[in-house]
Structure 1
Amino acid sequence: MKPYHTDQTKKEEVHEMFNRIAPRYDLLNHTLSMNIDRLWRRHVVREVQRVKPKRILDVATGTGDLAIALAQHIPGTQVRAVDLSEEMLAVARRKVEARGLDARIILDCGDAEHLEVADASVDVATVAFGVRNFGDLEAGLRELWRVVRPGGRVVILEFSRPRVRWFRTLYEFYSYRILPRIGGAISRDRRAYEYLPASVGEFPAPDIFLGMLGQAGFRNCRARSQSFGIAQIYIGER
């Protein structure tokens, strides 16, 4: 699905959407999630730490929250953070500079499906809340496999639909009814905040997505449910 339903490709519309909502993205992201997204990122950092990486690629970095957390909590690692949206990267750049992490985090404008990164050149590739926005999900997963070295990992944090029926009903009422109103009013782009929860509903279920990781070349693929299934941390090895 696409945010605006124009003649543009999904990638073009997503690019436009994130450029539009970038100034208010962090405020809305943390407020609407009641800051639980910070906890999930900490869990991602712990997964990445197990590899003891020196080189990390953070794809669809957005405003850089995960890239910053990785650099802060994994001493000596170099993080290259890539995103399609120039405006999101501008926010990320200010945050990186404010934390004195300029030498540890390199920010680049780039396409997840055509990464300008050498084959088998990173220890870990990460994506937080970005894979469902890929224009071509399979192509993006193949790119992640290509850039990770043998023995390295991909760690992906993404929303999912809770399995418990009553909780899923409550969660989806909030996501489809409340979130678009608040997000639309503050960001002045209601379609963006209708697209974001709707894209979760269209994203493959965890078992299907694990199969897609396997088809992309990863092995020992597994998922760790977060907060009653609101999100999943997917891990795959090369």
Structure 2
Amino acid sequence: MSQHPPIGEVEGKAEAVEKMFDTIAPQYDLLNRVLSFGIDQYWRTRAIRLLDDEQPTRVLDVATGTADLAIKAEQMLHPREVVGIDLSAEMLAYGRTKIDRQGLSPRISLVQGDAQNLPFGDHSFDAAMVAFGVRNFEDLNAGLRGIRRVLRPGGRLVVLEFSRPRTFPIKQLYAWYSRHVLPRIGGTLSPDAGAYEYLPNSVAEFPDGTDFLDRMNDSGFAELLWEPLTFGIASLYRGTVPQ
């Protein structure tokens, strides 16, 4: 079992995140479906719907993982191009297999890289998305500023991330599930049980809700939106680059 990444914004976190996801890549999609009871697909659909009225032609998917969100964005939005970027080469390899299998390789490309140092020019995308990735940024504000840089004026960022339920009894049930059930299932299906101890711990420390909107505002985004999903287990955030 590999050691999981440090919690919060810590120097050297990116390298640890890369190693962790390289390890769990073969089981990642299965674990997502099992641990979320399949509702993660619904959450992704809701995220992409926030870009419907934008009709973007070039879309960036940061922390794309195995390209689930990138594939769904191509199918729902029909942009000219979707570019996915991720730290983990192994996750990207599984993503490319899925893209090739569905005949989408001409329209979806995957690149290895970091949100803080995106290898793209200024204002080169109409929209950007991050699903369950901002929590793993080594420096959250730097990552958000990097995304803002590559978005055109008026471009939109949509973030889907786990959050902390705040109402009884969901708060208590979620805490029990995260502490006892999630690590056990993750450890059974994955070679790295520590990854599924890292997940609830990182959610507990993440600045969700209005705190995350403050981070988006500090990073230069406007017209901010926060929408809790499924009793607050996940949240959608939206921000726009000022014209």
- Give the Cα separation in 1 of the matches to 2:20 and 2:204: 19
- Give the Cα separation in 2 of the matches to 1:172 and 1:145: 33
Q: 1:222 to 1:20 in 2, by over 3 A?
A: same
The question of 1:3 aligning with 2:33 is answered: no
Counterpart of 2:180 in structure 1 is: 177
DSSP 3-state at the match of 1:80: strand
The question of 1:109 aligning with 2:104 is answered: no
Counterpart of 2:150 in structure 1 is: 147
- Give the Cα separation in 1 of the matches to 2:11 and 2:90: 19
> How far is the alpha carbon of 1:77 from its aligned partner?
3.0
CA contact (8 A) 1:4 1:191 kept: no
The question of 1:157 aligning with 2:160 is answered: yes
Q: 1:8 to 1:16 in 2, by over 3 A?
A: farther
Q: 1:75 to 1:4 in 2, by over 3 A?
A: closer
Pairs within 5 Å for 1:31-42: 31-42=34-45
- Give the Cα separation in 1 of the matches to 2:185 and 2:42: 23
CA contact (8 A) 1:18 1:88 kept: yes
- Give the Cα separation in 1 of the matches to 2:237 and 2:204: 17
With the length of structure 1 as denominator, give the TM-score of the two structures.
0.96
- Give the Cα separation in 2 of the matches to 1:76 and 1:135: 30
Q: 1:237 to 1:4 in 2, by over 3 A?
A: closer
The question of 1:186 aligning with 2:205 is answered: no
Q: 1:4 to 1:156 in 2, by over 3 A?
A: closer
Counterpart of 1:119 in structure 2 is: 122
Q: 1:25 to 1:152 in 2, by over 3 A?
A: same
Which ranges of 4 or more aligned residues in structure 1 deviate by more than 3 Å?
none
> How far is the alpha carbon of 1:225 from its aligned partner?
1.0
Question: What is the RMSD of the two structures over their aligned residues, measured on CA atoms?
Answer: 1.4
DSSP 3-state at the match of 2:117: coil
The question of 1:45 aligning with 2:48 is answered: yes
Moved more, 67-76 or 126-135: 67-76
Structure 2 residue runs of 5 or longer lacking an equivalent are none
Which residue of 72, 77, 80 maps to 2:75? 72
> How far is the alpha carbon of 1:165 from its aligned partner?
2.9
DSSP 3-state at the match of 1:50: helix
> How far is the alpha carbon of 1:4 from its aligned partner?
4.8
DSSP 3-state at the match of 1:195: helix
DSSP 3-state at the match of 2:109: strand
Structure 1 residue runs of 5 or longer lacking an equivalent are none
Moved more, 203-212 or 71-80: 71-80
> How far is the alpha carbon of 1:222 from its aligned partner?
1.1
Q: How many residues align?
A: 236
Identity of aligned residues (%): 50
